[in-house]
């Protein structure tokens, strides 16, 4: 069947590779809708001008027109529309929504799609509208689920008792809401004959089935629908019934619909958001984990003179100047364009709409690559208050988003507005600080104001003067909440850019976080630093220090270890005779040695540790399974021990607390440490994906392979 692989990621969003009979498609992907009857822009031009790799057309329309039908059956759908690449076909569901019932059964339309050689064949689901009342939507959903099961059977056939791997079953029973679980066929087996088109050379992939999620605007129904789809075999999981939401700018409701579905869908398959053809949506949809979009709008809009932009829609009539750099716009003016003959004008506008849409897809891909998709979404959501409302709504799903958010990323954290405090990094910082950070005992805690970073350099004078006289701890009131001075190098604090003047909302959140933190303080006194004047207060309140000054860098190492690996990690790691190796240039700590063993390296990029085998072994002994571990089967263990990466299909289990880019212990069935590396996937993904890397191994236990200083990953 069609196979999907995740090659890079930013939270739920990912850069993927979808292999189909007629070629490979990079995701996120935009599928221009091709109407065999009226093509404004022929597919061949779609490829040349915009780099389109896959298109979508409607099998119901083709089947309904004798000449289309005959040609498609004879030559294949590709020939019909003049395109030799992958084709997805829709089933007529949308027509049933637009014009009431359709005169075709699901078996008929599915068989037809297969016969005409579509790469992705879509089920015939029931389109529930946002107006559909809950009871009705539930009934319609039951029928959609019934048809989904029927479609799976028609398409892949049933395999009595076929087992698949343990975690696969485990996964199935986790996601499948109808009992013991659907069989989980191995790739490329037991598939019916492909359609009349011959798969392109070198792609053994089979045609894939597209199952749809429905359920109206009711999150519980969407969840149930998604669980059902996840429990069945299919190539693509589509979210349907959302067009009216987007047409009416009900983006906050769209967030509820997509997120409640995404939560339950199989993370190893691409998610298609049906009808999301407006570039102003792409970044937000990708952030919610959608991989594919189809656009009929580029043509529909062009026909009534509307131009799409990534911040909205404008009518040609209302423009004096083109607010766009695309070839269509930079080559002409609105006035000249208005004067063109209608047909030519419509084509120009359609090409503008496609230029802007594909550029936005490229923008989203680049943002995912850099890990800056949140920043992009916060920019895009500025274009309409309804999108901003959607961003606020997304705050309700901070927990789910945090689970998939990388532990650190390439780009800096840019503050964009009050909603930036919904970002996973902010939630994670406050949670970990509360659960994992213990302030070392002292006589007084001093709260420093926000300032240039790194704080410890900015406040160096103040801090060293105070420490020379008192046993004090320091915490900075930052946008992320309280930042103990010894953690000021850790992502995202040191890598964040926040304006000097903050909005009231962020300030409120900051002070609340500071309050919560100060309640946990164990020092007898605490003091808000207001400059040298505050010294007198210290003199009155606090006894001069009796204990010797401890090494602040050692404090940094200990605090970072607990924040990164969990409370108790410092104790486990930092035993024996410790030695901090500093960079000759920066003077910053680079490596931590214990009894001569290199246990940790401190990365300059994000202020977090890279694990060395001895350090990993200490953590393994201190933390019971499954903490910090990825458990792999015997064969994979051998490879990992040689320093080779771990692939998802060999993962038996994984710590649910692990996040992308977390340092992980690779262990075998006996919990013996076989390697250290960085996680690329989270647990759900490792157990679901059949392709792709789960852990990038830095060093194997049974090998000299790998590079102890390789912190590049």
Mask: binding to a second copy, 653-682, rule CB under 8 A, as x and -? ------------------------------
Q: Report which of 350, 360, 355, 394 is spatially closest to residue 374, judged by C-alpha positions.
A: 394
| Smallest distance, a second copy to C-beta of residue 419, A | 7
Active site residues: 90
Which tokens sit at 103? 């005169």
Q: Please, which residue, 325 or 543, has the CB nearer to a second copy?
A: 325
Q: Report which of 606, 540, 131 is spatially closest to residue 408, judged by C-alpha positions.
A: 606
Residues 96-135 binding a second copy (CB under 8 A) are none
| Cα four-point dihedral sign 236, 241, 246, 251 | negative
| Smallest distance, a second copy to C-beta of residue 384, A | 7
DSSP symbol at 544: P
Q: Please, which residue, 509 or 620, has the CB nearer to a second copy?
A: 509
Query: How many CA atoms within 13 Å lie on the side-chain side of 211?
Result: 32
Separation of CA 551 from chain center: 39
- What does the angle CA 72 – CA 75 – CA 81 come to, to the nearest 5 degrees? 60
Establish if 593 lies at the interface with a second copy (CB under 8 A). no
Residues 294-313 binding a second copy (CB under 8 A) are 311
Mask: binding to a second copy, 242-271, rule CB under 8 A, as x and -? ----------x-------------------
For residue 259, report the phi and psi dihedrals to the nearest 5 degrees: -65, -40
Question: How are beta strands 87-90 and 55-58 bridged, if at all?
Answer: parallel
| The total number of residues written for the chain in this structure | 713
Establish if 49 lies at the interface with a second copy (CB under 8 A). yes
| Smallest distance, a second copy to C-beta of residue 493, A | 14
CA 565, CA 629: separation in Å to the nearest integer? 11
Q: Please, which residue, 390 or 463, has the CB nearer to a second copy?
A: 390
Helix intervals (H) in 383-495: 385-394, 398-404, 424-436, 455-458, 460-469
CA 94, CA 102: separation in Å to the nearest integer? 10
Determine the 3-state secondary structure of 224 from DSSP: helix
| Smallest distance, a second copy to C-beta of residue 283, A | 11
Establish if 324 lies at the interface with a second copy (CB under 8 A). yes
Which tokens sit at 48? 């040349």
Q: Report which of 423, 395, 397 is spatially closest to residue 259, judged by C-alpha positions.
A: 397
Residues near 464 by Cβ (< 8 Å), separated by ≥ 6? Answer: none
Q: Please, which residue, 324 or 477, has the CB nearer to a second copy?
A: 324
DSSP symbol at 355: H
Q: Please, which residue, 311 or 462, has the CB nearer to a second copy?
A: 311
CA 107, CA 111: separation in Å to the nearest integer? 6
Q: What is the DSSP string of 556-612?
A: HHHHHHHHHH-TTHHHHHS-SSEEEEEPTTT--EEEEEETTEEEEEE-TTTS-EEE-
| Smallest distance, a second copy to C-beta of residue 682, A | 24
| Smallest distance, a second copy to C-beta of residue 87, A | 23
Q: Please, which residue, 315 or 435, has the CB nearer to a second copy?
A: 315
Q: Please, which residue, 387 or 557, has the CB nearer to a second copy?
A: 387
Q: Please, which residue, 66 or 320, has the CB nearer to a second copy?
A: 320
Mask: binding to a second copy, 204-243, rule CB under 8 A, as x and -? ----------------------------------------
Q: Tell me whether residue 554 is exposed, middle or buried, using C-beta atoms within 10 angstroms of its C-beta: 0 to 12, 13 to 18, 19 or more.
A: middle
CA 84, CA 629: separation in Å to the nearest integer? 45
Among 107, 418, 568, 705, binds a second copy (CB under 8 A): 418
| Smallest distance, a second copy to C-beta of residue 233, A | 32
Q: Report which of 65, 126, 121 is spatially closest to residue 95, judged by C-alpha positions.
A: 126
Mask: binding to a second copy, 329-368, rule CB under 8 A, as x and -? xxx-----------------------xx-xx--xx-xxx-
Q: Report which of 489, 491, 493 is spatially closest to residue 479, judged by C-alpha positions.
A: 493
Count of residues that bind a second copy according to CB under 8 A: 55
Residues near 25 by Cβ (< 8 Å), separated by ≥ 6? Answer: 17, 18, 19, 53, 54, 86
Question: 93, 109 in Cβ contact below 8 A?
Answer: no
| Smallest distance, a second copy to C-beta of residue 514, A | 16
Q: Please, which residue, 227 or 355, has the CB nearer to a second copy?
A: 355
Mask: binding to a second copy, 162-201, rule CB under 8 A, as x and -? ----------------------------------------
Among 101, 320, 342, 635, binds a second copy (CB under 8 A): 320
Establish if 450 lies at the interface with a second copy (CB under 8 A). no
Establish if 452 lies at the interface with a second copy (CB under 8 A). no
End-to-end CA distance of the chain: 32
Q: Please, which residue, 498 or 541, has the CB nearer to a second copy?
A: 498
| Smallest distance, a second copy to C-beta of residue 359, A | 3
| Smallest distance, a second copy to C-beta of residue 315, A | 12
Residues 472-511 binding a second copy (CB under 8 A) are 497-501, 503-505, 508-509
Establish if 318 lies at the interface with a second copy (CB under 8 A). yes
Which tokens sit at 480? 């992320």
Among 69, 79, 142, 414, binds a second copy (CB under 8 A): 414
CA 442, CA 555: separation in Å to the nearest integer? 13
Residues 272-291 binding a second copy (CB under 8 A) are none
Among 61, 138, 319, 527, binds a second copy (CB under 8 A): 319
| Smallest distance, a second copy to C-beta of residue 635, A | 33
Q: Please, which residue, 384 or 644, has the CB nearer to a second copy?
A: 384
Residues 377-396 binding a second copy (CB under 8 A) are 378-379, 382-386, 388-389, 392-393
Residues that bind a second copy (CB under 8 A): 49-50, 252, 311, 318-327, 329-331, 355-356, 358-359, 362-363, 365-367, 369-370, 378-379, 382-386, 388-389, 392-393, 414-419, 497-501, 503-505, 508-509
């Amino acid at each position: 069947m069609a196979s999907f692989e995740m090659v890079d990621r930013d939270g739920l969003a990912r850069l993927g590779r979808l292999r189909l009979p007629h070629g490979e498609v990079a995701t996120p992907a935009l599928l221009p809708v091709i109407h065999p009857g009226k093509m404004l822009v022929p597919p061949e031009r779609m490829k040349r001008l915009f780099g389109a790799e896959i298109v979508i057309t409607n099998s119901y329309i083709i089947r309904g027109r004798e000449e289309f039908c005959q040609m498609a059956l004879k030559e294949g759908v590709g020939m019909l529309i003049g395109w030799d690449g992958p084709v997805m076909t829709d089933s007529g569901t949308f027509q049933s929504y637009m014009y009431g019932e359709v005169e075709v059964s699901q078996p008929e339309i599915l068989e037809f799609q297969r016969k005409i050689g579509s790469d992705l064949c879509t089920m015939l689901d029931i389109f529930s509208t946002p107006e559909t009342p809950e009871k009705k939507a539930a009934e319609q959903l039951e029928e959609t689920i019934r048809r989904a099961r029927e479609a799976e059977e028609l398409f892949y056939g049933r395999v009595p008792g076929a087992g698949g791997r343990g975690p696969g079953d485990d996964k199935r029973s986790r996601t499948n809401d109808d009992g013991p679980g659907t069989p989980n066929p191995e790739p490329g087996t037991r598939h019916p004959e492909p359609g009349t088109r011959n798969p392109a050379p070198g792609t053994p992939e089979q045609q894939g089935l597209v199952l749809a999620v429905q359920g109206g605007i009711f999150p519980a129904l969407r969840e149930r629908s998604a669980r059902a789809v996840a429990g069945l075999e299919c190539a693509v999981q589509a979210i349907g019934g959302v067009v009216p939401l987007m047409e009416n700018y009900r983006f906050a409701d769209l967030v509820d619909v997509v997120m409640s579905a995404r939560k339950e869908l199989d993370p190893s398959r691409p998610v298609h958001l049906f009808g999301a053809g407006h570039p102003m949506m792409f970044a937000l949809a990708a952030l919610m984990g959608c991989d594919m979009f189809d656009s009929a709008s580029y043509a529909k809009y062009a026909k009534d003179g509307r131009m799409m932009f990534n911040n909205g829609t404008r009518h040609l009539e209302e423009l004096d100047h083109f607010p766009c750099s695309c070839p269509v716009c930079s080559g002409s003016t609105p006035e000249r364009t208005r004067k063109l003959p209608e047909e030519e004008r419509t084509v120009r506008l359609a090409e503008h709409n496609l230029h802007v849409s594909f550029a936005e897809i490229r923008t989203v891909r680049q943002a995912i690559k850099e890990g800056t998709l949140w920043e992009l979404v916060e920019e895009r959501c500025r274009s309409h208050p309804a999108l901003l409302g959607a961003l606020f709504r997304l705050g309700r799903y901070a927990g789910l988003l945090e689970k998939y958010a990388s532990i650190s990323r390439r780009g800096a954290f840019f503050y964009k507005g009050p909603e930036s405090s919904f970002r996973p990094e902010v939630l994670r910082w406050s949670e970990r600080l509360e659960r994992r950070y213990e302030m070392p005992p002292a006589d007084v805690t001093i709260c420093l104001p926000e300032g240039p970073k790194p704080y410890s350099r900015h406040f160096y004078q103040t801090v060293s003067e105070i420490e020379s006289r008192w046993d004090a701890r320091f915490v900075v009131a930052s946008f992320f909440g309280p930042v103990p001075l010894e953690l000021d190098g850790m992502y995202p604090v040191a890598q964040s850019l926040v304006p000097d003047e903050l909005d009231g909302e962020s300030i409120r959140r900051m002070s609340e976080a500071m309050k919560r933190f100060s309640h946990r303080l164990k020092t007898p006194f605490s003091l808000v630093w207001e400059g040298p004047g505050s010294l007198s207060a210290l003199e009155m309140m606090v006894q001069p220090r009796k204990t010797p000054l401890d090494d602040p860098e050692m404090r940094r190492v200990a605090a970072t270890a607990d924040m990164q690996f969990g409370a108790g990690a410092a104790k486990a790691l930092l035993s024996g005779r410790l030695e901090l190796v500093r960079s000759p240039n920066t003077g910053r700590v680079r490596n931590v040695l214990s009894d001569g063993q290199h246990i940790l390296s401190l990365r300059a990029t994000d202020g977090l540790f890279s694990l060395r085998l001895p350090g990993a072994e200490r953590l393994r002994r201190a933390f019971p399974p499954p903490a910090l571990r990825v458990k792999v089967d015997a064969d994979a263990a051998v490879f990992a021990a040689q320093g080779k990466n771990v692939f998802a299909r060999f993962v038996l289990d994984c710590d649910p607390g692990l996040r992308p880019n977390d340092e992980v212990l690779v262990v075998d069935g006996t919990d013996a440490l076989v390697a250290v590396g960085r996680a690329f996937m989270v647990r759900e993904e490792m157990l679901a994906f059949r392709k792709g890397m789960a852990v990038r191994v830095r060093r194997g236990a049974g090998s000299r392979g790998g590079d102890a200083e390789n912190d590049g990953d």
